[in-house]
């Protein structure tokens, strides 16, 4: 069976692979959107924390024998703790300044973090094994998909849904939404907004690290694995609209699929399609698909 002269298997196969990539985009852009919404920082270092998450998983495995499953929890927590320190020691000093300072500071952090890992571990990278439970492939009828990649999609969706639940349905989430909307007034009500900013930055980069651990068995764990991804993720956040949480998740998955389909129809365009979409969205809807126009 063909679709536009392309075997339907190839078509569906690329949709699935697109969903896998889209899962990473979704978790990363979710973290970026939360950080931007509440901390008002364009966190250029997001990719560096993604990479740090993968490295932490690799290192605690090598030195302490901590396997994949505990690493999936422990590595994001360690990176979140680093994020908390970064917020307290660095970001806090530039709140209220022109947003360009946040961009420059976090960009500087990328150079330092990636450079540090490159000096310590070289640039060639290390393999990270797929956990035993997730070895093998599943026959989906139209393709054989490695079980691990199915797990990536499920884990990403669960984490996104959990994040959505916390923000939209809990008391702490109401405080976060309030601080996003009117930070000064929220603090005047007695809500410890500076603490919320710290925790949000920690949680946001923790999400990036979670994606990094998810990525470790798929990619080689290497210092530049984040910077390649973060550019695409920034484009996705622009497409979805900065500060929109469900928009970030949906756009992430959608762009993964669009990218996958582009590989079927016009493979040469698959590396630029995200940026083409971004340009179109900026032309037609500058606030992004899910963003609200500034009034």
> What does the binding site for other proteins look like in residue numbers (CB under 8 A)?
171, 174-175, 177-178, 180-182, 184-194
Compute the distance between CA of residue 197 and CA of residue 35 in angstroms, rounded to an integer.
8
Least Å distance, CB 281 to other proteins, is 23
Give whichever of 58 and 250 is closer to other proteins, judged by the CB atom.
250
Fill in the DSSP letter of residue 123: S
C-beta of residue 50 within 8 angstroms of C-beta of residue 212: yes
Judged by beta carbon, residue 98 or residue 184, the one nearer other proteins is 184
Q: Which is nearer to other proteins, 138 or 192 (CB)?
A: 192
CB of 239 to other proteins, least distance (A): 22
* Pick 84 or 191: Cβ nearer other proteins: 191
Counting every residue, how long is the chain? 295
User: Shortest gap between Cβ of 174 and other proteins (angstroms)?
Assistant: 4
* Residue 162 C-beta: closest distance to other proteins, Å: 19
Give the shortest CB-180-to-other proteins separation in angstroms: 7
d(CA 227, CA 242): 20
Cα distance between residue 252 and residue 270, in whole Å: 15
Identify whether the C-beta of residue 218 lies closer than 8 Å to the C-beta of residue 59: no
Nearer to other proteins, 187 or 219 (CB): 187
Residue 22 in contact with residue 249, Cβ under 8 Å? no
Is 107 buried (19+), middle (13-18) or exposed (0-12) by CB count in 10 A? Answer: middle
- What CA–CA distance (Å, rounded) separates 248 from 239? 8
* Nearest residue (CB) to other proteins, 132 versus 184: 184
Tokens of 257: 């699929």
How do strand 6-7 and strand 137-139 relate by DSSP bridges?
unpaired
CB nearer to other proteins: pick between 175 and 220: 175
User: Among 238, 209, 192, which Cα is nearest to 74's?
Assistant: 209
Shortest distance, CB of residue 96 to other proteins, whole angstroms? 9
Cβ at position 168, least distance to other proteins in Å: 9
Question: Which tokens sit at 14?
Answer: 């690329």
């Amino acid at each position: 069976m063909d679709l536009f002269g392309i075997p339907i298997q190839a078509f569906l196969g690329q949709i699935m692979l697109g969903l896998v990539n889209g899962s990473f985009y979704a978790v990363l852009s979710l973290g970026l959107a939360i950080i931007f919404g509440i901390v008002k920082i364009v966190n250029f270092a997001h990719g560096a924390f993604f990479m740090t998450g993968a490295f932490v998983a690799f290192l605690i495995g090598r030195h302490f024998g901590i396997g994949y499953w505990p690493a999936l929890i422990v590595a994001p927590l360690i990176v979140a703790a680093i994020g908390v320190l970064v917020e307290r020691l660095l970001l806090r000093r530039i709140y209220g300044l022109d947003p360009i300072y946040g961009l420059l500071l976090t960009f500087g952090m990328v150079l330092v973090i990636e450079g540090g890992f490159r000096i310590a571990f070289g640039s060639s990278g290390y393999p990270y094994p797929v956990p035993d439970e997730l070895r093998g492939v599943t026959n989906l009828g139209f393709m054989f998909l490695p079980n691990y990649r199915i797990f990536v999609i499920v884990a990403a969706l669960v984490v996104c849904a959990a994040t959505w639940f916390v923000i939209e349905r809990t008391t702490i989430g109401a405080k976060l939404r309030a601080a996003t909307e009117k930070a000064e007034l929220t603090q005047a009500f007695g809500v410890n907004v500076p603490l919320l900013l710290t925790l949000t930055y920690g949680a946001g980069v923790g999400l990036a690290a979670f994606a990094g651990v998810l990525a470790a068995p798929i990619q080689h764990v290497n210092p530049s694995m984040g910077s390649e991804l973060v550019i695409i993720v920034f484009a996705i956040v622009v497409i979805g609209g900065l500060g929109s949480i469900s928009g970030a998740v949906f756009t992430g998955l959608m762009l993964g699929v669009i990218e996958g389909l582009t590989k079927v129809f016009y493979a040469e365009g698959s590396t630029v399609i995200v940026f083409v979409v971004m340009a179109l969205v900026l032309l037609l809807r500058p606030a992004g698909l899910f963003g609200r126009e500034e009034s």
